[in-house]
A and B are shown apart, each in its own frame.
Chain A
Amino acid sequence: MPDIQKSFAREDPLSQPPLVSVENLAFERDDTCLFENIDLTVNAGDILQIEGPNGSGKTTLLRLLTTALEPRSGFIRYRGQSVTACRHEYLSDLLYVGHQPAVKLTLTAEENLRWMVAASAGSNNLSIQEALQLVGLSGYTDLPCYALSAGQHRRVALARLLMSQAKLWYLDEPFTAIDKQGVAFLESCLQRHVDAGGAVVLSTHQDLALGAVRKYKLEGQGRGLRS
């Protein structure tokens, strides 16, 4: 099994601004306020789980964090700088796996992964074959993805995590459609990532079997309250 150790420069959390900080974020859709007064910080080594009932804005919050959406008001800062000012650095350092896994059905798993990596900022030295083997798709590399199941599509998207150099992972419902072994594997990936100094923000209804998970609860009525 190839070694997928990653190393990021260790930082002293006291002297450095947090990796990502969100201040007073508000978002409205169709003239109704989805949430407001969202304040949260993500430090290196954090796993932040966003919880909330369906429709409370978990996906929206993650998409706001990736800058795919514009907030109505509030700031997102990356290492103390506004993300609009350091957009390139921020986007180079984040990996987002959305609700839709962005897997092209007519391409094979290997081709999908190849363009995902080519279209992103860069990758570590793990090869595509090794990554697919690790997520349990080694026998399926030459099949078009429409021949694979929904869980296997997820696994293709998750193989990106293994190949990424990004420090920040934003994962929207990453455990959907994945079997038990897959969940355990993904949890070990997340653990390894934060142990190496990365950070994870994810939305899931599942309770994670990981040590230090911070939770952030979104209330359905459009008010974010820290629990």
Chain B
Amino acid sequence: MTQQFNSGFSAWLKRDLVLAYRRRGDAAGPLLFFVMVSTLIPLGLTPESARLADVAAGMIWVMALLATLLSMDALFADDHRDGSLEQLLISPQLLPMPILGKMTAHWLITGLPLTLASPLLGLMLSLPAAGFVPMLCSLAVGTACLSLIGGVGAALTVSLRKGGLLLSLLVMPLYMPVIIFGSATVGYALDGLNWLPPLAALGAMLAASVALCPLAAAGALRITSVN
């Protein structure tokens, strides 16, 4: 009998990544939404690059937030349906660790591709050159916050058949500081100011989310998965 430390983090992280790879079409949904909606903005607003540049950073952030929200309710719903969530709840590991694994997988599947695709959208929306690096940095940190906070909402609404709308209502207030500091990071850079302070605030939010969100989601799952 080999007794080794097994937190469950890597097992669930790996499993969710393989699952997403098997269902690439579904996993690419948020990214497609992100790109598609962003191409509509010049059509609906104005193709003039000077006016687009004013709204580019904010628009990209709003789209990233909505794209993340779109994919959030599947985080625990599938596992709830096929009984794996039950197995998660009775695993001997501390519950927050496997949950953190699932949330990390969610960021790798949605947040990271969104971040990597954002320079393309920056080009399309005529984002000034000074904004690209701050945008990448703020999206990388910010989307991780979104995945973690959204996971708590997903855990709270897991047993509801149509939990999507309630989930949005629940997590939207918590998403507000993320989008404020996220778009401020890009805005400061475009105004020629030091953009590190708002990014640091985002970083602080991420640190708090990593520490608290898995705990909150674990508590929520214990309550909601009763039926």
Contact = CB atoms under 8 A, between A and B. Distances in A.
Contacts of B225: 68
Given A98-B83, A102-B84, A104-B84, A144 B22 contact: yes
A144 B19 CA distance: 11
A69 B226 contact: yes
A91 B90 contact: yes
A213 to B, nearest CB: 24
B14 interface: yes
Contact of B11 (A107, A119, A124): A119
B162 interface: no
Main secondary structure of the interface of A (DSSP, over half): loop
B98 interface: yes
Given A100-B82, A102-B82, A102-B84, A115 B14 contact: yes
A116 B87 contact: yes
A98 B90 CA distance: 11
Interface in A164-203: 165
Contacts of B10: 118
B87 A122 contact: no
Interface string B68-101: 0000000000000111101111111100001000
A106 B86 contact: no
Contact of A67 (B3, B22, B90): B90
Contact of A122 (B2, B18, B226): B2
Interface residues of A, number: 34
Nearest to B227: A29
B12 interface: yes
Nearest to A153: B82
A52 interface: no
Nearest to A30: B227
A147 B225 CA distance: 29
Nearest to A170: B90
Contacts of A124: 1
Contacts, number: 80
B82 A104 contact: yes
Interface string B14-25: 110011001100
Contact of A91 (B3, B18, B92): B92
Nearest to B90: A66
A29 B18 CA distance: 37
Nearest to A63: B86
A100 B84 CA distance: 8
A101 B86 CA distance: 10
Contact of A104 (B1, B19, B93): B19
B83 A119 contact: no
B192 to A, nearest CB: 49
A70 B88 CA distance: 16
A10 interface: no
A143 to B, nearest CB: 12
Interface in A32-70: 63, 66-70
A120 interface: yes
A78 interface: no
A111 B84 CA distance: 14
A216 interface: no
A68 B90 contact: yes
A227 to B, nearest CB: 28
Interface string B199-227: 00000000000000000000000000111
Interface in A100-128: 100-107, 111, 115-116, 118-122, 124
B6 A118 contact: yes
Given A118-B6, A119-B91, 20 more contacts: A29-B227, A68-B225, A91-B90, A96-B87, A99-B83, A100-B86, A102-B83, A102-B87, A104-B19, A105-B82, A107-B15, A111-B18, A115-B15, A116-B87, A119-B11, A120-B92, A121-B91, A122-B3, A122-B6, A124-B1
Interface of A: 29, 63, 66-70, 87-88, 91-92, 94, 96, 98-107, 111, 115-116, 118-122, 124, 144, 165
Interface of B: 1-3, 6, 8, 10-12, 14-15, 18-19, 22-23, 81-84, 86-93, 98, 225-227
